[in-house]
Amino acid sequence: MLAVRELELDLDAFEGPFDLLLSLVLREELPLQEVDLAEIIIAFVEHLDGRGELDLDACGEFLVLISALLELKARAMFPEEEAELAELEPEEAAEELARRLAEYRRAKEAANWLRERLDDRRDLFFRIGPAPLAPKAERKLAQQDPEKLAGALRLLAVEPPEPSTGHMALRFPPVSQFLDRWRTLLRRRARFDFDQEVAGLSRVEIAVAFLALLELRKQNEIAIAQAAPFAPIRISRADAERSLSWNVRSA
Amino acid sequence: MERPLRLIPTEVTPAAELARTLEALLVVASQPLPVAELSAAAQAAAAEIEQALEVLGERFAEGSSGIVLEHVAGGYAFRASAAATEACARLFEKPVEKGLSQAALETLAIVAYLGPVTRPEITRIRGVNVDGVIAGLAERGLIAEGGRENEFGAIRYRTTPLFERIFGLESLAALPRVDDLGDDVAQIRERLETVAEKRPA
Amino acid sequence: MERPLRLIPTEVTPAAELARTLEALLVVASQPLPVAELSAAAQAAAAEIEQALEVLGERFAEGSSGIVLEHVAGGYAFRASAAATEACARLFEKPVEKGLSQAALETLAIVAYLGPVTRPEITRIRGVNVDGVIAGLAERGLIAEGGRENEFGAIRYRTTPLFERIFGLESLAALPRVDDLGDDVAQIRERLETVAEKRPA
């Protein structure tokens, strides 16, 4: 019998046997968003085709596995709709899924149209940028108040404050350093406790580390949660929240 | 100017003069010029501009001139004739040097149809991470940032005039409708329901 | 393509075709094209190119077309006709800017109150490189070069009549008084330089 789990995969995001991909995904070491599941299906179908016989058991196993992955991925993709999806009746869920599939179909359709269009047009040349002998644009300035000039001059005459050595003790690490650190951590783990990770750092470093978190939140890369004031601050990958609870429930 | 101004004593009608003015504007412009801009620069009514453009469209047409007038990206612009493509390719880079991948085209389609649209929204529709694709499209100048969802929200993307120009669109409204897939939705749904029924609870 | 390709059944001579190819190359180019480049792109001998350029020079001439073929140092390029100068100026006109940046304002104040003044002097007082700001102010016509410190010395800058117009000054003598900074220009200059030295690098 065809061992589905030994199916060799060569994807953009992963190379190796299907089984390894499954365990990496379940251990949250490989974000499913990066994995093109359609490629896996194609690999399986090609493999099946190569064998020249229909292996029903293998197909069944593959269907179960791939549909689990699909569901996982679907949920990971839409963490913000966690509650919304959970409350859906099967029929509503099916309808929602169908709507999204249709949306994707439309995107594909439109992409095909664009490709044909590009094939027609890409050999046509036009100038990008200014013409060689184009007139130069003149910049015009509104009427100004001469007092502004006196003000600017006075500002230049303001004595600088006495040099302070206070800042010498405060060394601000760059925010980017913590951005890198959090991102690296989040590639390995789907969630962590802030307090644990900053234990032993100076107050300034902790502050900068927190700023980095806010930046990641702004970029929609993470979710930040705190059960109560002064409770541990929990950070999770924006895409991870759902998959965990799904795993727990189905285990 | 090197060559002395040669005055040719022919009668010039106002319409012909306007057409010449538009030629001059179009040959120095860096982007397609909308009728409104031509009208403001040439100080002529929009109707006159459109008439003059019609004349120019016949003069600068594929098959009769190396310079071709086209209506694109919300305005009018000159381009090289298709007949001169090979010569141009020897001297200039193509607007889109390399083809666009399927992922790039799908993302572009989503931005063109649904834009301004955020990265998470695109991800949602495409089903895979689109960060790299978005960066690539932005670098090629086909899409650009266009504000945020709200003050602290995700950045929204929209297609650029260069996109319309490269794809030869008069405007985004010239994109064909792709929402006539109603049957498909019903079919997909039906299939899903069949599968759902058979799934062990 | 929006408009159907119209095939015009006229005989096209090779010379006419070459002229069209050159038209196309010139309308796409963002720099003047030398004969050698045109020759390589159109795959025609230099002599043929020169002949075709002569034909184009007559077609795209001042007085008979809005597009004018110009022979400049670097080669050949299209430009707008002189008759369309005003329309082009309107096209390229930028919206009136409301104010100046703080850096520009400070630099302008130094030139106005202490001028004529050299670039190193302004740099010393402002404590930062001022090359870009000076170039910007000169491009706007608010300051201009006004001689040198000595025969081989640094260029000195002074404000222009345009500066006086924009700031509503009859002359530099009408600048608001800054007695609080010093009794005369020399004192003010010294004070500003002393303060500048105290600024942290």
Average confidence (pLDDT) over C115-136: 87
Interface size A-C, in CB pairs within 8 Å, comes to 138
Q: Smallest CA–CA separation between C174 and chain A, in Å?
A: 9
Which tens digits make up the pLDDT trace of B25-55?
Answer: 999 998 999 999 999 999 999 999 999 999 9
Distance between CA atoms of B130 and B107, rounded to whole angstroms? 8
Give the pLDDT confidence of A47-101 residue by residue, as tens digits.
877 777 777 777 777 877 787 778 777 766 765 555 555 566 666 666 676 677 6
Q: Give the CA angle between residues C83, C87, C93 to the nearest 5°.
A: 140
pLDDT at B76: 96
Please give, rounded to a whole number of angstroms, the shortest distance from the CA of A116 to a CA of chain C: 12
Domain B14-91 matches domain B102-197 at the CATH topology level: yes
Is A146–C167 a contact, with Cβ atoms under 8 angstroms apart?
yes
Q: Which residues pair with B71 in a beta bridge?
A: B76
Note whether B90 contacts C43, CB cutoff 8 Å: yes
ipTM of the shown complex = 0.72
- The mean pLDDT value for B50-74 works out to 94
Among B33, B37, B102, B105, the strongest candidate for a mutation testing the A interface, having the largest count of A CBs within 10 A, is: B105
User: What value does the mean pLDDT of chain B take?
Assistant: 83
Q: What is the mean pLDDT of residues A23-44?
A: 79
Structural domain spans, chain B: 14-91, 102-197
Range with the poorest average pLDDT among A164-178, B150-164, C25-39, C78-92: A164-178
B85 has pLDDT over 80: yes
Please tell me the predicted confidence (pLDDT) of residue C4.
55
Q: Which of B108, B122, B128 to mutate to test the interface with A (most CBs of A within 10 A)?
A: B128
Q: Mutate which of C67, C86, C93 to disrupt the B interface (most B C-beta within 10 Å)?
A: C67
Please answer whether residues B61 and B69 qualify as being in contact, where contact means their C-beta atoms are separated by less than 8 angstroms.
Answer: yes
- Alpha-carbon distance B21 to C86, whole Å? 10
Say which CATH architecture domain C102-197 belongs to.
Answer: Orthogonal Bundle (1.10)
d(CA A246, CA A70): 12
User: Which segment, A14-18, A58-62, C27-31, is predicted with the most confidence on average?
Assistant: C27-31
Mean pLDDT value of segment A38-42: 83
* Residues from A in contact with C at Cβ < 8 Å: 120-121, 125-150, 152-160, 163
Which of B88, B95, B152 lies closest to A128 in CB terms?
B95
Q: Do C25 and B70 touch (CB under 8 A)?
A: no
Over residues A184-228, the pLDDT tens digits come to: 888 878 888 888 888 877 777 888 888 888 888 888 888 888 777
Task: Return the ∠ at Cα B98 (arms to B77 and C19), rounded to 5°.
Answer: 45
What pLDDT score was predicted for residue C79?
94
- For A78, which of B124, B167, B188 is closest by C-beta distance? B124
Mean pLDDT of B107-131: 84
What is the 3 state secondary structure string of A181-202?
HHHHHHHHCCEEEHHHHHCCCC
- Sole residue written with tokens 């003790």: A169
Q: What percent of chain C has pLDDT over 70?
A: 93
Domain B14-91, what fold? Arc Repressor Mutant, subunit A (1.10.10)
Search chain B and give the residue with CA nearest A89: B196
Q: Is the N-terminal amide bond of C4 cis, ω within 30° of 0?
A: no
Nearest one of B103, B102, B132, B130 to B118, comparing CA atoms: B130
Angle at C84 between CA C81 and CA C88, to 5 degrees: 110
Tell me: pLDDT of A157 over 60. Answer: yes
Provide the 3-class DSSP secondary structure of residue A88. coil
Query: Has residue A16 got a pLDDT over 50?
Result: yes
For the CA atoms of A14, A16, A19, A22, the dihedral, rounded to the nearest 10 degrees, stands at: -10
pLDDT at A248: 29
Å between A158 CA and nearest CA of chain B: 36
Q: Is B17 within 8 Å of C43 when comparing Cβ atoms? A: no
Q: What is the mean pLDDT of residues B94-116?
A: 85
What confidence score (pLDDT) does residue B10 get?
Answer: 55
